[in-house]
Amino acid sequence: MGLEIERKFTVVGDIWKEGATSELYVQGYLPSNGSSTLRIRQAGERAWITIKGRRDNLSRLEFEYPIPPADALLMLEKLCLTPLIRKRRYRTEYQGFVWEIDEFQGENDGLVIAEIELQSENQAFIRPPWLGREVSGDRRYYNASLSTSPYSTWAQSIG
């Protein structure tokens, strides 16, 4: 059984890009009954299908399996809700933790979110200076939500 424990934050500035590596991601979501999320993701020549359960605080079940890139492309084009999520994912280390920072493109352009995966919900970590406010519990920032309610449709209401 897979368990994802993740915290999400907005990002301030761009100093975090120093020394970070990046890769372009395209992902889409299949229609769901609300009890789980089914994601198709492609990055370069790799592709995955991911099933995520409902969030319980900072944790949720997560199962991820590689699939042929050609299958992923067809599913993204024919089965997934639109708009697809396009983002450049950066990875950078800070104080012993790997942070993933997503710089969104297309309908979600202008949104930058940092994520950290933890071993437990109460695991301590040192906040990088470029970390903004925590948005872990705000459903608007979930990638699945961004595919149906893109950042461009609600950016003016964010303070």
Domains of the chain plus CATH, in order, are: 3-157 (2.40.320.10)
Across 98-126, average pLDDT: 95
Give residue 32's pLDDT. 82
Task: Tell me if 16 sits within 8 A of 129, measured CB to CB.
Answer: no
Across 77-104, average pLDDT: 95
Between 59-73, 114-128, 145-159, the lowest mean confidence (pLDDT) is in: 145-159
Give residue 2's pLDDT. 85
pLDDT at 19 over 90: no
In this structure, the chain runs to a length of 159
pLDDT at 68 over 60: yes
Across 94-103, average pLDDT: 96
Give residue 1's pLDDT. 54
pLDDT at 112 over 60: yes
pLDDT at 39 over 80: yes
Give residue 157's pLDDT. 52
Q: What pTM, to 2 d.p., does this model score?
A: 0.89
> Residue 98 to residues 89, 101, 105, 118: CA-CA distances in angstroms?
12, 10, 22, 10
The values of phi and psi at residue 66, to 5°, are -70, 145
pLDDT at 159 over 50: no
Annotated catalytic, 90?
no
Q: Any idea what the Cα angle at residue 140 is, between residues 44 and 128, rounded to 5°?
A: 70
Between 55-64, 95-104, 122-131, the lowest mean confidence (pLDDT) is in: 55-64
Which is the catalytic residue, given 25, 29, 142, 151?
29
